[in-house]
Structure 1
Amino acid sequence: MKTRLEAMRTEVTSGDVSVNQRYVTARRGMKELRGIFDNMEKMADRMNARKYQFTKDADTERLLGSKMGLGTLDVAGEFRKNIPVPDLSTVTWKNEADINVITPQDQGTCIITGLALLSPGPFLLTDQGNSCAKLVDATTRAVTSRLELPVQPWDVCALPGDQAAVTLPDKSMIQLLSTKEGQLSRGKEIKVSSGCYCITYYNNRLYVSYVSNPRIEVMTLDGLITSNIQTVDGRQAFQLPLYLTVSASTPPTLYVSDCTTHNVHQLSLDGKILREYSDMKLKYPKYVVAVGPGQLLVCGPQRDAADGEGRQDGGNTGE
Structure 2
Amino acid sequence: MKTRLEAIRTVLTSGDVSVNQRYVTARRGMKELRGIHDDMWKMPGRMKARKYQLTKDADTERLLGSKMGIGTLDVAGEFQKNIPVPDLSTVTWKIEAEINVSASQDQETFVNSIALPSPGVFLLSDYNNNCVKLMDVTTRNVTSRLQLPGTPWDVCALPDDQAAVTLRDKSMIHLLSTKGGQLLRGKEIKVSSNGRGIGYYNNRLYVSYESNPRIEVMTLDGHIIRTFQTDDGRQTFQRPLYLSVSATTPPTLYVSDYNAHTVHQLSLDGKVLREYSDKKLEYPYSVVAVDPGQLLVCGPTSHNVMLLTERDGTMTEVLGQKDGLTFPCSMSFCPNTRTIVVGMFRNDSLKVFNAN
TM over 0.5: yes
- 8 A contact 2:253–2:267 mirrored in 1: yes
Does residue 318 of structure 1 match 2:317?
no
1:89 match: 89
Instruction: Give 3-state SS (helix, strand or coil) of 2:256's partner.
Output: strand
Cα distance in 1 for residues equivalent to 2:133 and 2:221: 24
2:228 match: 229
Cα distance in 2 for residues equivalent to 1:62 and 1:151: 52
Instruction: Give 3-state SS (helix, strand or coil) of 2:153's partner.
Output: coil
Quick one: structure 1 residues 201 and 63, their matched pair in 2 at CA, closer, same or farther if it must change by over 3 Å? farther
Shift of 1:286: 1.1
Shift of 1:66: 6.6
With normalisation by structure 2, the TM-score equals 0.66
**Aligned sequence identity (%):** 62
Quick one: structure 1 residues 68 and 139, their matched pair in 2 at CA, closer, same or farther if it must change by over 3 Å? farther
2:306 match: none
Shift of 1:75: 12
Cα distance in 2 for residues equivalent to 1:187 and 1:149: 11
Shift of 1:313: 2.1
Shift of 1:297: 0.9
Instruction: Give 3-state SS (helix, strand or coil) of 1:181's partner.
Output: helix
Cα deviation 1:270-293 (Å, max 9, x = unaligned): 111111111111111111111223
Cα distance in 1 for residues equivalent to 2:249 and 2:267: 11
Letter matched to residue 95 of structure 2: N
Shift of 1:90: 2.9
2:149 match: 150
Cα deviation 1:252-274 (Å, max 9, x = unaligned): 11111111111111111011111
Cα distance in 1 for residues equivalent to 2:121 and 2:88: 24
- 8 A contact 1:262–1:282 mirrored in 2: yes
Quick one: structure 1 residues 279 and 64, their matched pair in 2 at CA, closer, same or farther if it must change by over 3 Å? farther
Letter matched to residue 199 of structure 1: I
Instruction: Give 3-state SS (helix, strand or coil) of 1:213's partner.
Output: coil
Quick one: structure 1 residues 267 and 151, their matched pair in 2 at CA, closer, same or farther if it must change by over 3 Å? same
Cα distance in 1 for residues equivalent to 2:144 and 2:202: 28
- 8 A contact 2:259–2:283 mirrored in 1: yes
Whose strand fraction is larger, Structure 1's or Structure 2's?
2
Cα distance in 2 for residues equivalent to 1:153 and 1:70: 43
Instruction: Give 3-state SS (helix, strand or coil) of 2:152's partner.
Output: coil
Instruction: Give 3-state SS (helix, strand or coil) of 1:261's partner.
Output: coil
Shift of 1:184: 1.6
- 8 A contact 1:63–1:70 mirrored in 2: no
Cα distance in 2 for residues equivalent to 1:56 and 1:241: 66
Instruction: Give 3-state SS (helix, strand or coil) of 1:255's partner.
Output: strand
Instruction: Give 3-state SS (helix, strand or coil) of 1:283's partner.
Output: coil
Cα deviation 1:112-134 (Å, max 9, x = unaligned): 01111112442211111111111
Letter matched to residue 313 of structure 1: F
1:301 match: 300
Cα distance in 1 for residues equivalent to 2:246 and 2:135: 24
Letter matched to residue 288 of structure 1: V
Cα distance in 1 for residues equivalent to 2:135 and 2:326: 26
2:10 match: none
Quick one: structure 1 residues 58 and 77, their matched pair in 2 at CA, closer, same or farther if it must change by over 3 Å? same
1:218 match: 217
- 8 A contact 2:117–2:178 mirrored in 1: no
- 8 A contact 2:152–2:165 mirrored in 1: yes
Cα distance in 2 for residues equivalent to 1:137 and 1:261: 35
Structure 1 segment 58-69 matched on structure 2, within 5 A: 62=63
1:136 match: 135
2:238 match: 239
Question: After TM superposition, what 4+ stretches of structure 1 lie above 4 angstroms from structure 2?
Answer: 55-61, 63-81, 307-312
Instruction: Give 3-state SS (helix, strand or coil) of 1:155's partner.
Output: strand
1:183 match: 182
Instruction: Give 3-state SS (helix, strand or coil) of 1:115's partner.
Output: strand
1:197 match: 196
Structure 1 segment 1-319 matched on structure 2, within 5 A: 62=63, 71-72=72-73, 85-106=85-106, 108-303=107-302, 312-314=326-328, 315=344, 316-319=346-349
Letter matched to residue 233 of structure 1: D
Cα distance in 2 for residues equivalent to 1:61 and 1:211: 64
Letter matched to residue 160 of structure 2: G
Shift of 1:181: 2.6
Shift of 1:62: 3.8
Quick one: structure 1 residues 72 and 230, their matched pair in 2 at CA, closer, same or farther if it must change by over 3 Å? same
- 8 A contact 2:108–2:128 mirrored in 1: yes
Shift of 1:65: 8.3
